[in-house]
Amino acid sequence: MLDVVKVDQEKAEEEIIFENLEILEFSSLLSLRSFCNGKQAFIFPSLLDVVVKGCPQMKIFSSGFTVAPFLIAVEVENEKKRWKDDLNTTIEQLFKEQVRKAIPFI
């Protein structure tokens, strides 16, 4: 699985709203690269928690814009919480740190 959400190209510019979703967890998904690689906007008006554990290929959350007004951190390995600006930036930062640990001289 490369992406969780796959969107038809004709609907690529539409917003996708997950009205009541409060928790989103990705665990032990070794080939997951993103939640969605399309450019649509995702709106999570109720999202409180995102957990990302054991997803070494996850480089971004989405290529489009993401709105999650109540999300303040992403839980990662060992129950640590991380946050940098927004959900996409946080996931990108986690991936970069993981690459640096794997190849320390870059």
Q: Is the pLDDT of residue 8 over 70?
A: no
Phi, psi of 11 (to 5 degrees): -105, 15
What contacts 94, CB < 8 A, 6 or more positions away? Answer: 52, 58, 74, 76, 82
Average pLDDT over residues 84-98: 93
In three-state secondary structure terms, 96 is helix
Can you read off the two tokens belonging to residue 73?
């951190």
The predicted structure's pLDDT at residue 66: 94
The predicted structure's pLDDT at residue 100: 83
| pLDDT tens digits for range 27-70 | 999 999 999 888 889 999 999 999 999 999 999 999 889 999 99
Average pLDDT over residues 74-90: 93
Whole-prediction pTM: 0.82
Query: Helix, strand, coil % (nearest 5) of the chain?
Result: 20, 25, 55
The 66-67 sheet, strands edge to edge: 15-17, 41-43, 66-67
What contacts 20, CB < 8 A, 6 or more positions away? Answer: 46
The predicted structure's pLDDT at residue 83: 95
Amino acid found at 85:
D
